[in-house]
Chains A and B, each alone.
Chain A
Amino acid sequence: MQENITLIQYFKRYLKRCITGPWSLMCGLSVSLKYFFDPRRIVTEQYPENRKTLKMHERFRGRLEMIEDQDGNNLCTACGMCERACPNASINVLATKNIAGKKVLGRYIYHFASCTQCGLCVEACPFGAIRMNQEFEVATTDPNSLEMILNKKEGQG
């Protein structure tokens, strides 16, 4: 990468760099000074302190939950569409038979540990029985607590 240049050219370049160099550095410094002295530019969210005002967007995909009415009845028919739509089998829809011998939902197990929150199950559900809630504070020290049973009651029917 050696170029053949005369001594004068070399010195011209050298001097030019001596002048433009510091100037460019001052430009950079001026930006950081501007940011330093302008507290309005601080964009930090104070997370644990702003819990009350912090709201997720409506479409935010947090944990899966079942839509239930006041009595704890859900809309699930144990058809298993969500189970099939799930890319990594994070949902167990375990059906049971009720007293009339009809297939109803027995237990809806949700493996939060492996859930990728893609939302395909919600999309697949034909009855709108499940949704993704806005919960994001989900850290835990016990991995077994990540296996959840979502329904309180057996399915209707």
Chain B
Amino acid sequence: MGIINYAPKILDPIPGGKYVVNAIDYVVNWARANSIWPLTYGTSCCAIEMMSSSMARYDIARFGSEVFRSSPRQADLFILAGTITRRMAPAIQMLWEQIPGPKYVIAMGACTISGGPFIYDNYSVVRGAQNLIPVDVFVPGCPPRPEALFHGLLTLREKILKETCRHPWHEGKPKDVSTMDRYREAAKTWAALEEMKDEAMAEARAKFKEEHPDYKSAYKPVRVKKEDFPEVPRVPFKRFGLTQSELFAKLREKFPKVTVHTHSEDPIEDVVAAIPADRPLEVMVEPEDYLSIVEFVKSSPEFNMDYLIDVTAIDYDDHFDMVTMLRSLEHGHKLFLCVQMKKDFSIPEEKRATSLLASVKSISHLYPGAEVKEREVYDMFGINFEGHPDQRRIFLDKDFVGYPLRKDFTHPQMIRRPV
């Protein structure tokens, strides 16, 4: 890369050297523009469209770019396909640094241009690839069609063909747009303009009102007619295994403390019986009983809850609800255990956001699949699992502060959605 940048210096003094330089430019640009090798990189949806574009139907090979190199050292083009998260950002910067110059970047899809669907209320997505690396071509769309990507490639070709030895390719600089909030900015500018307009037009409006005291606009907007559809009754799903009442009665027999969540005053059996058949039974469980209930329903042949669907939690003002979803593969019934855990308010208020507020026994020795699920709950809510073999953050960096799915979570780079 370095050599040809000296070409003008060496060749210009020689008579006719200019033409040689121009010829070199022509050949080099021709080669560069027609043999753009992209890096195999993709994180999400756009990656599939990028793959589609290299497949038989669209065939990126027609442009000489089908050689997807998986090593960044042999690539020329970095197609940023898919959302960039804060955790991925250093890897992307490193990849970009490893690509030898001249290198080009196409930001494909809304996520890499501005954050796209994840632009507001988000603590983990980088708002645009420009923050990390310089971007040459933007291809909006979510995801863009393969043709749109080709259009981006052609746009890039035009850009490459403009380079010469005298104005060679140079490394650009990333642009910080991470705090840019286009919506609020536009609204703000407009509000200022509006104020000025109000002032300027106050007189004219008053005059207009005097002249036309009962002015009615001649324009009447027409509503789009919506098609009319009949109301359709809901067909309940088929269900297998024990009914909710049976399940509940059997569980209550063993653990008298279990209840269901209800506002009504009716006896609890009636409430259970009133649950629609297609909804699983969700019982409230005391934290102390939790482990023994799980052990019981797993080992008892009547329940035989051998399959763990999921573990998740819900954050309320003063307590967490941790929901363990279990199902029996043999019988087909489902049972949701909802553990209500009071938040530990003995922790001083300023430390609450960053500390574990509740604790419950881990069930990962009963269901190995619960291990990652419990890590997720720990990561997102800050619930401690006693006896968990490997309690680490799973989705977020280990030095991430706070627990994002709590309702009071704040993050310096999280912008609330304006509407």
Contact = CB atoms under 8 A, between A and B. Distances in A.
B147 A94 contact: no
Nearest to A86: B419
- The secondary structure that dominates the A interface is loop
B114 A138 contact: no
A157 interface: yes
A137 B147 contact: yes
A68 B150 CA distance: 30
A106 B190 contact: yes
Nearest to B136: A141
B113 interface: yes
A89 B183 contact: yes
Given A77-B221, A111-B183, A88 B138 contact: no
Contacts of A75: 221-222
Contact of A48 (B141, B150, B182): B150
A99 B140 contact: no
A128 interface: yes
B205 interface: yes
A88 B323 CA distance: 30
B208 interface: yes
Nearest to B148: A136
Contacts of A46: 62
A113 B136 contact: no
Contacts of A113: 110, 113-114, 128, 138, 140, 182
Interface in A82-127: 83-84, 86-90, 92, 94, 96-97, 99-102, 106-107, 109, 111-118, 125-127
A139 B151 contact: yes
B170 interface: no
B123 to A, nearest CB: 15
Interface residues of B, number: 60
Contacts of B58: 44-45, 47
A54 B212 CA distance: 53
B151 A111 contact: no
Contact of A44 (B56, B183, B205): B56
Contact of B62 (A44, A84, A94, A156): A44
Given A97-B198, A100-B217, A127 B222 contact: yes
Chain A interface size, as a band, is 35 or more
Interface stretch (B152-160, B329-337, B393-401): B152-160
Interface in A24-68: 42-48, 54
User: Most A CB atoms within 10 A — which of B119, B152, B418?
Assistant: B119
A117 B155 contact: no
A92 B184 CA distance: 9
Contacts of B113: 113-114, 143, 146
Contacts of B139: 138-139
B114 A100 contact: no
Contacts of B215: 100
Contact of A147 (B150, B182, B212): B182
Contacts of A140: 137-138, 140, 155
Contacts of A146: 113, 138, 140
Interface in B275-329: none
A83 B186 CA distance: 13
B190 A54 contact: no
B150 A47 contact: yes
B56 to A, nearest CB: 5
Given A88-B116, A128-B224, A138 B147 contact: no
B11 interface: no
B144 interface: yes
Interface of A: 42-48, 54, 75, 77, 83-84, 86-90, 92, 94, 96-97, 99-102, 106-107, 109, 111-118, 125-128, 136-143, 146-147, 156-157
Given A115-B110, A116-B116, A140-B137, 20 more contacts: A43-B56, A44-B56, A47-B58, A75-B221, A77-B221, A84-B419, A86-B419, A96-B194, A97-B205, A101-B205, A113-B182, A114-B110, A115-B140, A128-B224, A138-B139, A139-B138, A141-B138, A143-B114, A143-B130, A143-B138
